[in-house]
Amino acid sequence: MTRDTSYAAVMARKNEIMKNSMGLDYEVYKQGALAFDYEGMMNDCGFTLEDVIKIQSQTKVGNTPMFELKNITEAVRKIAPEGKGARIFVKDEAANASGSFKARRAAISAYVAEQKGYKGMIAATSGNYGAAVASQAAQRNLKCIILQEIYDSHGVGQPEIVEKARKCEAFGAEVVRLTVGPELFYCNLLTLEETGFFNASLYTPFAIKGVESLGYELVNQIRSMTGKDADVVMVTNAGGGNLTGTARGMLAAGSKAKVVACSVDLSGLHMASDTDFNRKSFTTGHTGFGVPFATWPDRADVPRNAARALRYLDDYLLVSQGEVFYVTEMLSKMEGMERGPAGNTSLTGAVALAKTMDKDKIIVVQETEYTGAGKHHNSQLSFAKKMGIDVRRGDPKDYVNGKSIVIPEKLSQIDGHWQDTDKLRRSYIKNAIKQVPKEEWTEADKNFVAEDVKKDRAWLDEVLKEF
């Protein structure tokens, strides 16, 4: 019998495809219409934190250095109010094989794929994670296919994304280049079914477990360097895995530092829009992923997403594209570290926040990413100009996404602005009600939702009255 490969048929088989491509049955964790055993799912990975660290050490991942950005800290203090200007440290994740923290996620997935006898790995991604999966697959002698949204309908691709495709191929992966739109998930499922390869999704428990080592290392390094815990850990947020894994690792180390998410504000641009796709200069670390995935994590390519940002974040800071480009150049010229703009999103947030914090406080920026070729900020800005974007110096608050990028004229203009986290929580609840009418929620469902938005039941019960 011929297999039906229509969009509707493949989507209808997605749970079966997922189960076969990971050896993970999500149904066993179901506790209600909405509720599932999140910690049970995470624990069933079978890896302790010590196991994760050992596995990653086999393939050039982890134990990345921490640096204090003394010159940037001093510059911030010169423009901050008297007594303000927190110390800024950065965890240099560009030191991982493949050049980003995502090597931590890919390392565990590759290990599991090898142990379970899969012949290869598949990931659907716009960039850094694809390179990480390809790098790890190469080291474990696994085949690798990366499905990547690269082009708009005119065949035009951002230089950053094109560079990431090149890097995937450099590690020996086959890259399937797609245009922007819903076909990415469909093609991913179809390719998994056709090849029988392992699904190295960003959102599996294996991937999130891999990031826990980052948070754990970070806490121990800052204690060793300063004799105390950080006050704030600033995390670049997109799909939520970076934040979730880092926060879980911090908790395992006993840290009580505040976890602040940071994204580039791309409000007004739709991530699946053909016309908007190339009118943004950031392909990750932005609100186009950060907000939708925070307000409904299970929109991911797995039945139950292990990355659940609202469970762990304490606050959420947004910065503009121009502010990040300014800080990216500042990092190069003041600290001698040339790193990619997307990874510098959280550094931009740290600069903005440090101005408001006392000098004895500590902010840790929890990641950097590699740069070069199309990923360099000058390449991105040149491309933006070709797409008709007005790139100029001025007040970064004057930006209009899709029309202008305004690069600050001076450091004091780096401010960012706060996201309303309770609004995000209400959006999550609204999305949950779309899935299951609130009248049908069980006690298990209500308790799960309260935990998922990091609030108590009394808060949830009051908010439910609004809907």
| pLDDT 10s digits, 178-215 | 888 778 888 999 999 999 999 999 999 999 999 999 99
How does residue 218 score in pLDDT terms, banded at 50, 70 and 90? very high
In a domain, 33, yes or no: no
Q: Are residues 79 and 115 in the same domain?
A: no
Here the tokens at position 266 are: 């791309």
Q: Are residues 131 and 266 in the same domain?
A: no
Q: Average pLDDT, stretch 26-43?
A: 96
In a domain, 255, yes or no: yes
Own/partner contacts of 151-158, CB < 8 Å, gap of 24 or more, are 151/177, 151/178, 151/179, 151/180, 152/179, 152/180, 152/274, 152/275, 152/277, 152/278, 153/179, 153/274, 156/278, 157/278, 158/278, 158/281, 158/283, 158/374, 158/380, 158/383
Q: What is the pTM of this model?
A: 0.96
Percent residues over pLDDT 70 in the chain: 100
How does residue 128 score in pLDDT terms, banded at 50, 70 and 90? confident
Enclosing domain of residue 283? 55-96+211-418
In a domain, 31, yes or no: no
| pLDDT 10s digits, 389-416 | 999 999 999 999 999 999 999 999 999 9
Residue 351 · residue 88 · CB < 8 Å: yes
Q: Are residues 82 and 194 in the same domain?
A: no
Position 19 scores a pLDDT of 87
Q: Are residues 64 and 168 in the same domain?
A: no
For residue 139, what are the CA distances in angstroms to 109, 120, 195? 12, 12, 20
Please check the confidence at residue 90 and state whether its pLDDT lies above 80: yes
In a domain, 373, yes or no: yes
Q: Are residues 411 and 454 in the same domain?
A: no
CATH number of the domain enclosing 237: 3.40.50.1100
Q: Are residues 109 and 91 in the same domain?
A: no
Number of domains forming the structure of the chain: 3
Q: Are residues 67 and 170 in the same domain?
A: no
Q: Average pLDDT, stretch 221-238?
A: 98
In a domain, 30, yes or no: no
Position 1 scores a pLDDT of 46
Q: Are residues 119 and 85 in the same domain?
A: no
Of the listed ranges 2-6, 39-43, 340-344, 444-448, the one predicted with least confidence: 2-6
Query: What pairs with residue 390 in β-bridges?
Result: 404
Question: Average model confidence (pLDDT) for the chain?
Answer: 94
Please check the confidence at residue 306 and state whether its pLDDT lies above 80: yes
Q: Are residues 401 and 433 in the same domain?
A: no
Q: Are residues 281 and 384 in the same domain?
A: yes
Q: Average pLDDT, stretch 56-64?
A: 98
